[in-house]
Amino acid sequence: MLNRIFGLETEYGLLIHEDRPDHSPTWFAHKIRDHLFHVQRRGVLDLHHRGHDEPPGNGGFLTNAGRIYLDMGHLEYASPECHSLTDVVASDRAGDLLLQRAIDELGFSDRVSLIKNNIDHETDATFGSHENFLVSRRFPFSRHGMAPLITFLVTRQIFTGSGRVGSASLQDAWIQMDRLLVPPSTFGVRHGKDLPFQISQRADYIVNDFFEWVQHNRAIVNTRDEPLADPNQYRRIHLLLGDSNMAEYATALKLGTTGLVLQLIEEGHAPQDLEIDEPVEALQEISQDQERRWSVQLQSRKTMSALDIQERFLDCALQHCKGQDEETDWVLAQWASVLQDLRGDYQKLIGRVDWASKLWLLECFRESEHLDWGDPMLKSLDLEYHNLNHTKGLYYGLLEEGRVPRLTADALIRIAMEEAPKNTRAYGRSALVKHLLSGWAPIDAGQPTNSGGLFPPYVINWSIFQVRGRPPFPMPDPFRTYLEEVRTHLESVIA
């Protein structure tokens, strides 16, 4: 799409199918990571500290230029930088397949399942699916400038949500008010309602509209200024509110519509006078609305439906973005289609919108087994929708039945497991990782070390790398591949 770099970060749940397991989920996560790097040699592990919570060997970059690592015990996959929706969907699917194949090769498939969702029904924990969008440094990164973005994000869950049974308990977090941090109970915010089903998994866990921290005070927009690119030219919009999507269509529409709204804001064309009175409260009320009226109160005291608000954004995008490239026109057409279908029977959305697909499956099961929504079996089926094992996951059952439209092909996903997109700097980083795997440096991935205090053989970050004996090699422009420059740099190292 036009002037846009996309990226996804996905944290996976791990479900153990044993009443009294000998090992913890974290133990299995370590085994899966080690198999990917040590046995399959899918990439190179970090040999340096990336932070206080990322010691050497915690994770590393892959040959497709993405990353796999452990985050608070969870396996997490970060896609490479992508310049198209096709690439980002394929790269996202590649991460799922990489991890599932490791489980199969390890012989763990009957013992554990990787669940691509955002909640643990037992502990009430949540794990994220973070979205990254590159914007110009001139982007109006202020509360006023991003007001249209907040309105769009709060209401887009009607087609991006993955759905869940029940609701979360009151969040142990703090809300920022001017320069003060106050508990959510100050505003009467509460969860734990006896809800049968809601359309978003993450909504209950968001407590701020803007905030710098990622954990415990999750915000709609994370305000940490970490562009991972030239800070004079770029800023990275980092979103925490989204659900992990199984449907390729939902992933593409989520990223594509958000990218177009960012463009409208950058160009000064975003719809005005749609600022929501209480964005976090509205986010949760939309998700929990059992009648699916999805009403929102604006600061003007006017009430609008999330559907009407989304159509206002669509109208602006049609006026200012239509015809600029093929992917944009696909997003606009599908955006219009899904909004139209949301006004009718939700079953029209099966295969395209995750919450609708899941709700239909659960309703069919409830009717056939004569269950009420409180039956624990429904929470189990909720998780199975997100199971990455193609023989067990309910989403993949819909796929086999021909109910799910594809945006990629299996062959393309297999390529994305090995290769980076060829039109971003990920391509150059991929060449570096493959070079290191070829045996240039004495890399013992089983024993990450910083060589007794000396500089390790290599250090790789998103926007820079350094190989021992050579100066750092910066890659500040995500739109450049740096392929020839990286190859020349590495050849000079050999020389």
Active site residues: 71
- The residues that bridge with 460 in the sheet, in sequence order, are 465
Per the CB < 8 A criterion, the answer to whether 271 and 316 are in contact is yes
Do the bridges between strand 67-71 and strand 59-62 make them parallel or antiparallel, or are there none, so unpaired?
antiparallel
User: Residue 217 is encoded by which pair of tokens?
Assistant: 């005070």
The SS3 call for residue 322 is: coil
- For residues 306 and 304, give the distance between their C-alpha atoms in angstroms, rounded to a whole number: 7
Do the bridges between strand 219-222 and strand 208-211 make them parallel or antiparallel, or are there none, so unpaired?
parallel
* φ, ψ of residue 130 in degrees (nearest 5): -95, 140
End-to-end CA distance of the chain: 40
Which DSSP helix (H) or strand (E) runs through 198?
strand 197-198
- For residues 262 and 236, give the distance between their C-alpha atoms in angstroms, rounded to a whole number: 11
Do the bridges between strand 234-239 and strand 219-222 make them parallel or antiparallel, or are there none, so unpaired?
antiparallel
List the helix and strand counts (H, then E) for the chain: 13, 19
Write the CB contacts of 79 (distance below 8 Å, at least 6 apart in sequence): 6, 7, 8, 9, 66, 88, 91, 92, 94, 95
Q: The tokens 């415990």 sit on which residue? A: 216
